[in-house]
Structure 1
Amino acid sequence: MDPIEPNVYGSIPRTKKYPDQEAATWCTASNKKILCIVSIVCALIAAAIIIAALCWIYVPIGSNCQKPCGANGTSVLCSQWCDEKSDCPNGEDEESCGTTGIKVSPNDKSCNGTTCVRLYGPNFQLQAYSPAKATWLPVCYDQWSDSSGKTACQDIGYSMSTYYSSTPFSAPSNNGYFMLQSNNVTGKLYNNLQYSATCASGNIVSLRCINCGLSTKVDSRIVGGTPALVGDWPWQAQLLKLVGTSTYLCGGSIITPYWIVTAAHCVYGSTSTPSIFKVFAGTLSIQSYSSSGRLVERALVHPNYTSNTQNYDVALLKLTAGLVFTTNLRPVCLPNVGMPWSGGQPCWISGWGTTSSGGSIATTLMAASVPLISSTTCNQAAVYGGAISPTMMCAGYLSGGTDTCQGDSGGPLVTKTNSLWWLVGDTSWGYGCATANKPGVYGNVTVFLEWIYLQMQTYP
């Protein structure tokens, strides 16, 4: 077998250095005065622009304020613009308003400029964003079909070929619903929805874009690593990278036939040469780089990743050929927004990393049970002293004894909710391995969802 060097690439950094902010030497009295004047001028200009824009879009100047419909010279009152009624001959007054009567900016972060639908909670509730109410609303199941479901999944980032199911479930909404305008969905799903105060059936859409989170794992809590059984962690991937004559080890999680989630520090600096990676899936044994593995078409690192703090430590690998799912090779569920997890939530870690700090890698897949630790606890001075950002989460035991280690980086931190397994985090870093008051730190996958789906949309 090729040599594996887990302590160089793909390792969990033993120590993390957080440099102090550089001292400001710029702020002299004269510079402060100049800055103050410039700031006031800029603020006045910005205020004038904002007031003018608001007056144009929202404020009727007297009863004669009108806006042109188009090239035909027709105009309508400003108050008639975006009122959910077509007053212009060709409906221009409603074209750029979205389905709720308010203009939707392409820079609206809630919709990411690409889609205004999302999945919420452990029941996969389909929601659409309402700019008018500045909130997400459920989609009514009335007039829904599998065709609508496939379109919604494609808008989120999945392939239509992985579509699994659309089912109704009862969940009243005090803020209203979105409903399909017709059974014939064309283009983006969001453009086929309209607001409704009621939903006749009282049922909303539960959307499953892929059959994920299934395992043969028997529910048992074991503290300390134990060898995994076939089918226990079917989404576990093994990532090998060849640099010169050295091979480096990381883990990963299968989320679709083509996409693997791993850690940014496993991929960082290698995005231009995805051919140096090989991915192995559906196996319990450690593999050799010379073995026949899956080739990688794209290696994508989160643009906000910083190697000195491990913020946004997430990356995606797109395979050149899709995996064929079996009982022993399946995807894990990406977490939906609003999952009910908090400190103490039981989770599992898995990988082929070293069984002790600086030790030898495991020849067979190992797994262990660890609970989530709240960021408040993990940021205490005796633990990580404020180093845990919102893009991270901790799991393990403050007493030590059970942890991920070198070579496990990028691998899954999963939990079981509603009979399905969900990807809570990706193995990121820690201080040593299984050390007291130094639990494992993981990338917070829920925070990364928008970026993950955007990559899946961009590179279908």
Structure 2
Amino acid sequence: MLTALLILSLGGPALGPAGARGSWVIGGKAVVPHSRPFIASIQMDGQHFCGGFLVWPKWVMTAAHCPILRHYPSMRVVLGAHRLGQPEESQQVFGIEESIAHPLYNPLTVDNDIRLLRLNSSATLNKFVKRVRLPSPHVDLKPGTVCSVVGWGDTSNYGERPTQLMEANTTIVKRGLCRTLWKGRVSDNMFCGASQNTTLQGVCAGDSGGPLVFRKKVYGIVSFSGERCGDRRHPDIFTKISNYIDWVHRIVLGHRHPKGQHKHTPGPEVAEGPGAGARAAALWWAGREGPGFLHRAPARGGLMADGN
């Protein structure tokens, strides 16, 4: 999950399209078991491919670019886990009743990369499974703020996987500098984070949708990184949750009060129609290089309207 360093030398970025590789937790350490009770593992066919976190008993937040297929039988959300490869009495497993991407999510620019998952039943809150707090609307994190990123995934570029949940620190980078490093691909809806030292440390495939945590609140969602994990020219990018608090509340409260709720449309990559979910799953799964998923930066340039 964790792999990226900030280096101020500006080489030409080696960018690639969104893709799938093993998930990485490089430069991190194992957390105390069940000390991050809000973390969620989103799985297909029993394999973890995206992270998420519990924001209400029936709602998990993740990234819009994670390919969440509605009504796909083997798609599930696991809460209360520490070791994904072992059965744990603490684990609670859920199906996905509804998958709602932000209506302005743009898969080319990766802007508005946020998604809510409505579980098929409410989580039982206990010492292993808890909600996490969200920030107030439009709160920013100052450059230099040290946050943490949590997730499961490979611990090296050679496919080594951890046996337990991992965590590493990342430091918020000035948005202006980040835009320079990313050649304008960073919007005001994003945070940038990088390691403070020479240790490879950051996010990569499979950490998508996971939390950026500061003082027990989740401020960001893992969104994308450079084409290659550990590329020192590009800080990791996180969705800025505080810009979406009103939208989140409208979705959740709309489902609590059905009489006044609108029909919410899924994100653009969610399959529709008879058999479409299975077809989309097969196409995505066939193109995978490993069990993880991370949105790679778009190869095309000049896509951001505010690229200053």
Q: TM-score, normalised by structure 2?
A: 0.68
Residue 277 of structure 1 corresponds to which residue in structure 2?
75
Quote how far apart the aligned CAs of 1:371 are: 1.2
Structure with greater Cα Rg? 1
Residue 385 of structure 1 corresponds to which residue in structure 2?
183
Q: Is structure 2 residue 27 aligned with structure 1 residue 233?
A: no
Quote how far apart the aligned CAs of 1:227 are: 0.6
Q: Is structure 2 residue 145 aligned with structure 1 residue 345?
A: yes
Q: Distance in 1 between matches of 2:140 and 2:221?
A: 18
Residue 260 of structure 1 corresponds to which residue in structure 2?
60
Aligned-pair identity (%): 26
Quote how far apart the aligned CAs of 1:280 are: 0.9
Residue 133 of structure 2 corresponds to which residue in structure 1?
333
Measured against aligned partners, the alpha-carbon deviations of 1:200-228 in whole angstroms (never above 9, x if no partner) come to: xxxxxxxxxxxxxxxxxxxxxxx930011
Alignment of 1:170-319 (within 5 A): 224-242=27-45, 247=47, 249-267=49-67, 270=69, 272-273=70-71, 275-287=73-85, 293-319=93-119
Measured against aligned partners, the alpha-carbon deviations of 1:224-248 in whole angstroms (never above 9, x if no partner) come to: 3001112421111111024xxx845
Would the alpha carbon gap of residues 458 and 312 (structure 1) be closer, same or farther in structure 2, given more than 3 Å must change? same
Q: Distance in 2 between matches of 1:355 and 1:347?
A: 19
Q: Distance in 1 between matches of 2:140 and 2:238?
A: 18
Residue 444 of structure 1 corresponds to which residue in structure 2?
240
Quote how far apart the aligned CAs of 1:454 are: 1.4
Aligned length: 231
Quote how far apart the aligned CAs of 1:329 are: 1.8
Measured against aligned partners, the alpha-carbon deviations of 1:89-124 in whole angstroms (never above 9, x if no partner) come to: xxxxxxxxxxxxxxxxxxxxxxxxxxxxxxxxxxxx
Quote how far apart the aligned CAs of 1:339 are: 3.4
Partner residue of 1:430 out of 211, 225, 250:
225
Partners of 2:60 and 2:118 within 8 A in 1:
yes
Quote how far apart the aligned CAs of 1:350 are: 0.7
Quote how far apart the aligned CAs of 1:276 are: 4.2
Amino acid aligned to 2:234: K
Partners of 2:40 and 2:51 within 8 A in 1:
yes
Alignment of 1:399-418 (within 5 A): 401-416=200-215
Residue 455 of structure 1 corresponds to which residue in structure 2?
251
Amino acid aligned to 2:75: F
Q: Distance in 2 between matches of 1:339 and 1:301?
A: 22
Would the alpha carbon gap of residues 249 and 388 (structure 1) be closer, same or farther in structure 2, given more than 3 Å must change? same
Amino acid aligned to 1:232: S
Alignment of 1:80-95 (within 5 A): none
Residue 21 of structure 2 corresponds to which residue in structure 1?
none
Gaps of 5+ in 1: 1-13, 19-222
Q: Distance in 1 between matches of 2:101 and 2:73?
A: 15
Alignment RMSD: 2.6
Residue 163 of structure 1 corresponds to which residue in structure 2?
none
Alignment of 1:357-372 (within 5 A): 357=157, 359-372=159-172
Quote how far apart the aligned CAs of 1:362 are: 2.6
The SS at the match of 2:95 is: strand
Q: Distance in 2 between matches of 1:354 and 1:411?
A: 15
Q: Distance in 2 between matches of 1:234 and 1:324?
A: 12
Partners of 1:280 and 1:287 within 8 A in 2:
no
Partners of 1:15 and 1:430 within 8 A in 2:
no
Amino acid aligned to 2:124: V
Q: Distance in 1 between matches of 2:36 and 2:92?
A: 21
Partners of 1:297 and 1:320 within 8 A in 2:
yes
Quote how far apart the aligned CAs of 1:446 are: 0.9
Amino acid aligned to 1:283: A
Amino acid aligned to 1:389: S
Quote how far apart the aligned CAs of 1:17 are: 5.6
Partners of 2:202 and 2:230 within 8 A in 1:
yes
Amino acid aligned to 1:15: L
Quote how far apart the aligned CAs of 1:292 are: 7.0
Moved more, 316-325 or 334-343: 334-343
Q: Which has the higher contact order (CA 8 A, sep 6+)?
A: 2
Partners of 2:137 and 2:244 within 8 A in 1:
no
Q: Distance in 2 between matches of 1:406 and 1:260?
A: 19
The SS at the match of 1:379 is: helix
Measured against aligned partners, the alpha-carbon deviations of 1:34-62 in whole angstroms (never above 9, x if no partner) come to: xxxxxxxxxxxxxxxxxxxxxxxxxxxxx
Amino acid aligned to 1:298: E
Alignment of 1:2-41 (within 5 A): 15-16=15-16
Partners of 2:27 and 2:199 within 8 A in 1:
no
Q: Distance in 2 between matches of 1:340 and 1:385?
A: 22
Quote how far apart the aligned CAs of 1:372 are: 1.1
Q: Distance in 1 between matches of 2:109 and 2:138?
A: 26
Quote how far apart the aligned CAs of 1:404 are: 1.5
Quote how far apart the aligned CAs of 1:441 are: 0.8
